[in-house]
C-alpha cells in the first residue's frame, strides 16, 4: 500500500526536487499540496486534480500519512509541530530547526502525534558510505577535517537564505548542517564540550559571488549572515574536528572534503556535495598508511541520487516505532553545536569591537 504524501512548500526544493522524486517512487502517492502564497497555489494548481491548500490545517491524518516539508527555515518548527500534533508524520528538510527551544517544541509535538524524520543527504551518498566502510581500518580516530567550500555559490542576497531572522544563520546552518550530520553518521552522535568558531562575510553582499545556478528570489534587503564559518571542535570522546563551510572562496571548483586521521591510517574523500555544476571531476577516496597512498574504488552515481535514496527507506521508517525520537535527538545535538559556534563567533567580534575603541 502506497504512503499518501503531501508536499508542503512549492518553492524550488518542494517543486523541483521532492515532488518529482515522490511521483516516480513506487512507495508514495502524492495526494495534496500546501503553500501560503496565492500565486504559487494558482500556478501550481492548473492542470492537476490534486488539491492545493493554503495551510497545513487542511491536512488530516485520515487522508495523509506523510508530509514532506520544504518551507523556509524559520517556518520549519511551526509547520512541522502543527502537522505532528495532528497525527501526521513529517519528513523535514535540514535544518530541522534553529534553536534548542524549537527542538523542545518538536519533541513535545511528536510525543503525542506523528513521527518526525529528517532529511540527511550526505550520509546517503555512495562515496560517503564507502568512507564509512573503511573507518574500522583506521584504528583509533584522532581527528577529522570537514569542509564544504564553494567557489561562487552565495544565495541571492536579500532572499530568505541570507536573512538571519528567516534562515537562522548563514552558511553554517546551510552547508555546515550537512557536514555535522555526515560526521555523526561516520562516528556516532556525541556532545561537543569545546566549540570555537569564527565567521566572516566578505562575499555575501557582492553579486559577483552569487551562484548563477540558483533561482532564489531577492527581497531587496542586504544580507546579514555569514558566508564563511571556520571552527575547531572537540568531542566528548576526545576526537578533534576542524570545520569550514563557505558559500564563496577563491577556489576554482566547489569542494567537499572529509579527512579522517586514525592511529592506523588516514582516509580522505574529495567530492562535491549538492547540485552545483561547478564540481570536482569525480569523487576520490584515498587511504594513506605508512607513507603509501592507495586510491580506493567509489561508486559512480548521478548527481542528486542521495535525495532519491532517502525516500527508499522512508516507508519502512514510518512503520517502525523505534524510529520515533531519533530525528529529534540528532537535531538537538547539531543545534547545540551550531549555537555554541555562533556564541563563540559573537564573543570574538565583541572583543574586536572593544579593542577598536581603546
Question: What is the DSSP secondary-structure string of 86-121?
Answer: TT-EEEEPSSS-SSHHHHHHHHHHHHTS--EEE---
Reported residue count of the chain is 358
Counting the structural domains of the chain, the total is 2
Q: Phi and psi at residue 114, in whole multiples of 5°?
A: -75, 175
Q: What is the pLDDT of residue 350?
A: 58
Note the Cα 345 to chain centre separation in Å.
21
> What is the torsional sign of CA 120, 122, 126, 130?
negative
Say whether both 144 and 281 belong to one domain: yes
- Residue 29 sits in a domain whose CATH number is 3.40.50.720
The answer to whether residue 263 is domain-embedded is: yes
Say whether both 29 and 142 belong to one domain: no
Contact 13, 5 (CB under 8 A): no
Cβ neighbours of 26 (radius 10 Å):
9
- Pairing mode, strands 255-262 and 141-149: antiparallel
Q: What is the pLDDT of residue 321?
A: 86
Report pLDDT digits (tens) over 49-90: 899 999 999 999 999 999 999 999 999 999 999 999 999 999
Say whether both 91 and 227 belong to one domain: no
Encode burial over 291-305: b for 16+ CB neighbours within 10 A, e otherwise.
eeeeeeebeeeeeee
Q: What is the pLDDT of residue 47?
A: 67
CA–CA gap between residue 334 and residue 270 (Å, rounded): 23
Q: Pick from 75, 82, 80, 78: which is nearest to 92 by CA?
A: 80
Q: What is the pLDDT of residue 357?
A: 35
Q: Pick from 74, 111, 61, 13: which is nearest to 329 by CA?
A: 111
The answer to whether residue 325 is domain-embedded is: no
| pTM for the predicted model, two decimal places | 0.93
The answer to whether residue 348 is domain-embedded is: no
Q: Which of 286, 307, 328 is the last residue of a domain?
A: 307
CA–CA gap between residue 129 and residue 182 (Å, rounded): 10
Q: What is the pLDDT of residue 221?
A: 65
The answer to whether residue 21 is domain-embedded is: yes
Say whether both 182 and 146 belong to one domain: yes
- Pairing mode, strands 284-289 and 292-296: antiparallel
Which strand (E) or helix (H) includes residue 336? helix 326-356
> Cis peptide leading into 219, omega within 30 of 0?
no
Say whether both 194 and 135 belong to one domain: yes
Set of cell numbers at residue 197: 568558531
Set of cell numbers at residue 296: 580506493
Beta-bridge partners for 248: 152
The answer to whether residue 355 is domain-embedded is: no
Set of cell numbers at residue 143: 581527528
Say whether both 169 and 76 belong to one domain: no
The answer to whether residue 347 is domain-embedded is: no
Say whether both 129 and 43 belong to one domain: no
Say whether both 20 and 57 belong to one domain: yes
Q: Phi and psi at residue 28, in whole multiples of 5°?
A: -130, 150
Q: What is the pLDDT of residue 355?
A: 42
Q: Domain residues for 92?
A: 3-118
- Residue 218 sits in a domain whose CATH number is 3.30.360.10
Q: What is the pLDDT of residue 165?
A: 93
CA–CA gap between residue 354 and residue 85 (Å, rounded): 47
Say whether both 193 and 303 belong to one domain: yes
Say whether both 185 and 265 belong to one domain: yes
Q: What is the pLDDT of residue 207?
A: 86
Contact 3, 65 (CB under 8 A): yes
Q: Pick from 197, 200, 152, 146: which is nearest to 175 by CA?
A: 146
- The list of the chain residues with pLDDT below 50 reads 352-358
Cα atoms in the 13 Å half-sphere on the side-chain side of 25:
25
Rg value, the chain, Cα: 21
Q: What is the pLDDT of residue 356?
A: 40
Say whether both 179 and 291 belong to one domain: yes
Q: Which of 118, 148, 173 is the last residue of a domain?
A: 118
Q: What angle do CA 331, 199, 268 make, to 5 degrees?
A: 65
Q: Which of 86, 118, 150 is the last residue of a domain?
A: 118
The answer to whether residue 239 is domain-embedded is: yes
Say whether both 101 and 127 belong to one domain: no
Q: What is the pLDDT of residue 7?
A: 97
The answer to whether residue 99 is domain-embedded is: yes
Amino acid at each position: 500500500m502506497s504512503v499518501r504524501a503531501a508536499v508542503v512548500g512549492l518553492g524550488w526544493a518542494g517543486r523541483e526536487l521532492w515532488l518529482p522524486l515522490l511521483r516516480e517512487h513506487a512507495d508514495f502517492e502524492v495526494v495534496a499540496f500546501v503553500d501560503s502564497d496565492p500565486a504559487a497555489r494558482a500556478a501550481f494548481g492548473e492542470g492537476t486534480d490534486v488539491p492545493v491548500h493554503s495551510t497545513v490545517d487542511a491536512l488530516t491524518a485520515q487522508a495523509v500519512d506523510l508530509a514532506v516539508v520544504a518551507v523556509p527555515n524559520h517556518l520549519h518548527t511551526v509547520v512541522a509541530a502543527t502537522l505532528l500534533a495532528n497525527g501526521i508524520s513529517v519528513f523535514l528538510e535540514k535544518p530541522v530547526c534553529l534553536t534548542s527551544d524549537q527542538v523542545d517544541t518538536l519533541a513535545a509535538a511528536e510525543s503525542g502525534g506523528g513521527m518526525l524524520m529528517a532529511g540527511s543527504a550526505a550520509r546517503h551518498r555512495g562515496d560517503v558510505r564507502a568512507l564509512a566502510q573503511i573507518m574500522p581500518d583506521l584504528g583509533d580516530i584522532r581527528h577529522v577535517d570537514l569542509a564544504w567550500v564553494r567557489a561562487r555559490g552565495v544565495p541571492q542576497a536579500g532572499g530568505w537564505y541570507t536573512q538571519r531572522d528567516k534562515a537562522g544563520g548563514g552558511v553554517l546552518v546551510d552547508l555546515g548542517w550537512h557536514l555535522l550530520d555526515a560526521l555523526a553518521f561516520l562516528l556516532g552522535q556525541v556532545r561537543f564540550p569545546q566549540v570555537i568558531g569564527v565567521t566572516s562575510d566578505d562575499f555575501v553582499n557582492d553579486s559577483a559571488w552569487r551562484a548563477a545556478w540558483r533561482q532564489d528570489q531577492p527581497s531587496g534587503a542586504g544580507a546579514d549572515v555569514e558566508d564563511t564559518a571556520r571552527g575547531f571542535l572537540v568531542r566528548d570522546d576526545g576526537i578533534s574536528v576542524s570545520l569550514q563551510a563557505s558559500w564563496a572562496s577563491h577556489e576554482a571548483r566547489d569542494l567537499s572534503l572529509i579527512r579522517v586521521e586514525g592511529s592506523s591510517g588516514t582516509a580522505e574523500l574529495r567530492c562535491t556535495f549538492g547540485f552545483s555544476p561547478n564540481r570536482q571531476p569525480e569523487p576520490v577516496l584515498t587511504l594513506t598508511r605508512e607513507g603509501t597512498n592507495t586510491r580506493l574504488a567509489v561508486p559512480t552515481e548521478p548527481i542528486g541520487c542521495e535525495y532519491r535514496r532517502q525516500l527508499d527507506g522512508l516507508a519502512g521508517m514510518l512503520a517502525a516505532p523505534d524510529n520515533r525520537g531519533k530525528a529529534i535527538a540528532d537535531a538537538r545535538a547539531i543545534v547545540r553545536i551550531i549555537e555554541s559556534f555562533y556564541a563563540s563567533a559573537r564573543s570574538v567580534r565583541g572583543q574586536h569591537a572593544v579593542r577598536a575603541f581603546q
